[in-house]
A = this chain, B = another copy of it.
Amino acid sequence: MAAAMRREIDFLLYDWLKVETLIGTAAFPEQDRQDWDAFLDLSGAISANEFLPCYKIADRDEPQLVNGDVHVQPDIKQALHTYMQAGLHLATVDTALGGMGFPFAIATGAMTEVMAANVAASGFVMLSIANARVIADFGTPEQVATFAQPQFDGTALGTMCLSEPDVGSSLGDITTKAAPDGTDTLGARYRLSGRKMWISAGDQDVSDNIVHLVLAKAVQPDGTTLPGPKGTSLFIVPKILPDGSRNDIAVAGLNHKMGYRGTPNCLLNFGEKDGAIGWRIGAEGDGLKIMFQMMNEARTNVGLSGAAMAYRGYELSRQYAAERIQGRPAHDKTQAKPVAILQHPDVRRMLLQQKALSEGALALCLKAALLCDLANTAPDAPTRQAADSLLGLLTPVIKSWPSEQGLVSLHQAIQIHGGYGYTRDFDVEQLYRDSRLNPIHEGTTGIQAIDLMGRKILSDRGRCFADFIAQIRASAANADPDFAEQAGQLAGLADLFETTVSQLLADGSAADALSNATAFLDAFGLCVVAWIWLDMAQEKTWACRYFYAVEVPKIPGLLAPLSTHQSLTRDVPDHVLV
């Protein structure tokens, strides 16, 4: 399987996205494709030889909480050590900090194979690098040396502590408190107390130390905390303090999940005794703002994991459909002997759907990674600004479309495997369970929809959206004449979405727009991926044709709730619902 996935990644990075155009720019002065390929080779080999073999084992042997400490399945621990000893977690880290300074696009390509092989293992690394990057970007030099550097060295791993048992999506309402406790070389010191829920890798025995980034409310001189998002600040709270003593953090319990079981998911109690010691990073009140850098990176990674698992499911389906002999095609029963199920039109339909959804999702995620590179490193400001703006608009789609459609794709992978696909003997069963987390963590699909409609479209008065529609029109106008039919459909989508959004922006309809945000997100996600498919049409003719024949026609139906009965969900009386 590894070979096909790597070919796909190479195609997307080099042939489609032309990542090599980054070479020689100020940010990547001395890199070349040979460096990147060596990195992709090694990462692919560790994915296949270390992470994949413990995929099922880590599902079966869940992390255990023993005497207050969490023990992770040993094979997954060993695989992570191998990966970090090879320094592969440092792909995107600045060379000044000891990293490779590679483009995000290249690192994302390599991460696809890690996630496809063992998404639970990938979680440890992804969170840690995103955590360390926040410290590197917003911390003092002492904070970077003490808390980011060990993560780069592989002796510590990091977490993101936002949710609480009663607060998931509305982070302004958290109640964890941080009481000022003087200042030292690491900055303003605090004592934290509160409970943090859903903390992936919140405790583990993979690394010597754990660096938590904790969102909490700084206690004001009058003893109160400030309400809402502006009352939140961010704190670095290590499991082991710089003096070697253990911080006041207790694992109150482990969540037992449907899938993704290799990553422990913890309820952490901070400050059961004297208060957990932490140091503020950034200014007071900037907690959510800073955290959103990590959150956006995490959201992109969730989308990528959805794409990666869907792609692996597609590969398993391909192999199974070619090998499994059964029945005769419904439209041609004359064959004396049973055929490979690949010959059944409905199996071909499911394979094409898996191909179109998983390759489309992966293309979207790698394009997002390149946009990230351009936003950070493009030589000219307009390019940086345009990339940043498009990435912001698309982030809810990048997070949610591969998450939701990855599940649809894996649903078909199970169907192709028949009863076997429903058993734990086949990896598609676990891929489906693991993937089910994606529409939930780092902001549910509904939250992504509100982000798209509220922050990215309504608050922006549709400016960034209009730029994107212009890009779609240009793509349709410049499409290969062989795909004139599909280009016409895409141009039609540009008109449809332009009209829809201008109606949403009309005065007084914000409540309707926000109430129907998920329907819009579903439709818009298809439009974005349709744009991507037309761009790849020449190399991937059949999947593009499939996407425009089967998926694109669903868009008008999905948008229907935005033009009729717009206030239905607000108008329905409570007693009908509960």
Contacts and interface: CB of A to CB of B under 8 A. Distances in A.
Interface of A: 163, 166-170, 173, 197-198, 255-258, 318-319, 321-322, 325-328, 330-332, 338, 342, 344-352, 355, 407, 411, 414-415, 418-419, 421-425, 429, 432-433, 436-437, 439-441, 444-446, 449-450, 454, 510-511, 514-519, 542-543, 545-546, 549-550, 553-558, 560-561, 564-565, 568-570, 572-574, 576-578
Contacts of A446: 344, 346-347, 350, 415
Contact of A330 (B332, B338, B350, B517): B517
Nearest to A439: B415
A327 B331 CA distance: 54
B554 A325 contact: no
The 5 closest A-B pairs by CB, nearest first: A170-B327, A553-B560, A345-B515, A331-B511, A549-B565
Given A445-B415, A569-B352, A570-B345, A578 B322 contact: yes
B338 A170 contact: yes
A558 to B, nearest CB: 7
A510 B331 contact: yes
Question: Which residue, of A258, A328, A437, A441, has the highest number of chain B Cβ atoms within 10 A?
Answer: A258
A348 to B, nearest CB: 4
Q: Is the interface of A mostly helix, strand, loop or mixed?
A: helix
Given A318-B578, A331-B514, A511-B332, A546 B560 contact: no
Nearest to A167: B326
A332 B512 CA distance: 11
Contacts of A437: 422
Contacts of A556: 553, 556-557
Question: Which residue, of A407, A444, A572, has the highest number of chain B Cβ atoms within 10 A?
Answer: A572
A208 to B, nearest CB: 28
Given A166-B326, A331-B514, A422-B436, A578 B319 contact: yes
Nearest to A168: B418
A349 B518 contact: yes
Contacts of A163: 419
Contacts of A568: 352, 542, 545-546, 549
Given A415-B444, A557-B554, A348 B569 contact: yes
A515 B572 contact: no
A327 B424 contact: no
Contacts of A424: 256-258
Given A258-B429, A330-B517, A348-B572, A325 B166 contact: yes
A481 to B, nearest CB: 18
A56 to B, nearest CB: 11
A516 to B, nearest CB: 8
Contact of A561 (B322, B350, B550, B569): B550
A106 to B, nearest CB: 27
A332 B545 CA distance: 43
Question: Which residue, of A170, A419, A449, A542, has the highest number of chain B Cβ atoms within 10 A?
Answer: A419
Contact of A454 (B330, B519, B572): B330
Nearest to A349: B569
A501 to B, nearest CB: 17
A260 to B, nearest CB: 8
A173 B338 contact: yes
Contact of A419 (B173, B440, B510, B545): B440
Contacts of A558: 554, 557
A170 B326 contact: yes
Contacts of A321: 577-578
Contacts of A169: 326-327, 418
Contacts of A258: 422-424, 429, 432-433
Contacts of A573: 542
Contact of A557 (B326, B511, B555): B555
A345 B514 contact: yes
Nearest to A560: B553
Given A257-B423, A258-B424, A546-B565, 18 more contacts: A168-B326, A168-B418, A169-B418, A173-B338, A197-B419, A256-B424, A256-B425, A318-B578, A319-B578, A330-B454, A331-B515, A332-B511, A345-B516, A352-B568, A352-B572, A407-B411, A433-B433, A553-B557
Contacts of A422: 257-258, 436-437, 440
B168 A577 contact: no
Nearest to A351: B577
B454 A440 contact: no
A227 to B, nearest CB: 8
Contacts of A518: 346, 349
A347 B437 CA distance: 18
B517 A346 contact: yes
